[in-house]
Amino acid sequence: MGLKEKLHKIKKKYEGKKMAPAFNAIHTFLYLPNETTHGGTHIKVADDLKRTMNTVIMALVPCLIFGMFNAGYQHYLALGEIESAKGFLGASFWTMDNFIVGLTQVLPLVVVSYGVGLAVEFLFAVLKGHEVEEGYLVTGMLVPLIVPVDIPLWMLAVAVIFGVVIGKEVFGGTGMNILNPALTIRAFLFFAYPTWMSGDKVWVHGAVERDQMIAAGQNLDAISGETILGTYAANNPVDYSYWDMFWGIIPGSVGETSKFLIIIGALFLIFTKIGSWRIIVSTLIGALTMGLIFNGVVDAGWIGESSKFYGLMSVPFWQHLIIGSILFGAVYMATDPVTASQTNKGKWIYGFLIGFISIMIRVFNPAYPEGVFLAILLMNVFAPTIDHYVVQGNVKKRMKRLKVKTA
């Protein structure tokens, strides 16, 4: 008897029982459900929610693997045990030592994210008596990619519980939430544990622990793992080249540094029609527009070098796309089909405002010089309003055309 037949046999024992949704979730994850639609007209397509989620995960896996190498590389580089990688193909970057360090730090984040998140999903499915849906599959992969490598696992677990319950389940589950669950988790971490989400120690593995040992009196060299945004915010010169920023050989959240791999993922999502190219493009246009405005302010002499905002305001407008997480947010977060605008015109407005507000927050909040996750959450709230006015505008145009024809 094959695995599928065994599962069908076990499934019959759970039918009508309290734990049926939990078992059905395991069965559906491995195989397609047996239920088919009856009657009426239906659009026949090959993709379903599970395939959609798996497609996004495939687009994220390269960022995850690169993040493991980069976590180990940044760790050994900060300790002075290896030399600079000298480019994306540098021999000192793609080493097994770097990967092992990254694997031991990143893999537990993935395990906790999926373990805790799916446990909450299963619990709500059993209590409410509905099927477990695949909506958390992508969230569970996104969360480890948008946090610092050394975030304590218990903090991540608490944040995941908060994000799944408050960000999704209270609204009715997958497809009903108004806020992106992954960004809700990150927002909780930022406001509940700010010292673990900002500063110059959290982005490089071992930096916080080493700092604590130095404070305890041990004779060790401190590790500085400040991100490029933090360096600019402090009006300090940046040591990284533009190519380092583009390839992602810089400190930062686990999966947000490599702009090259994010672009590859974006093209894959657009090709598979999972991600909205309108939202991605309009987000980048909004960011570039705000960057141009700030550059104009600096060029006009309206703000001097003594200002605490000068560093990020003077960043060339295009460079905002290869520092920080604006590109990652535009591709994997803003395009969430549940929380984003649904109308084509609304997507342009929605994306543009995300990019515009992201750079504004980035510049005016030097204590935490990154604003994309706050901008996306803000626009998640306004997405239904944007769609409402777009639809009403179309209705008014049609009514005018109708009056002209009947006149």
Contact 147, 43 (CB under 8 A): no
How many Cβ atoms sit within 10 Å of the Cβ of residue 138? 21
Which alpha helices (H) appear in 80-95, and where do they start and end?
none
pLDDT of residue 225: 72
Using 70 as the pLDDT threshold, list the residues of the chain that sit under it.
1-50, 85-89, 91, 129-134, 219-222, 366, 405, 407
| pLDDT reported for residue 7 | 59
Q: Which residues of 253-280 are buried (b: 16+ CB within 10 A; e: fewer)?
A: bbbbbbbbbbeebbebbbeeebbbbbbb
CA-based nearest residue to 204, from 86, 332, 98: 98
Q: In whole angstroms, give the CA distance from residue 85 to residue 88.
A: 7
pLDDT digits (tens, 9 = 90+) for 203-232: 888 877 777 777 777 766 667 777 888 888
Do the beta carbons of residue 260 and residue 151 sit within 8 Å? Answer: no
| Residue-level pLDDT at 286 | 97
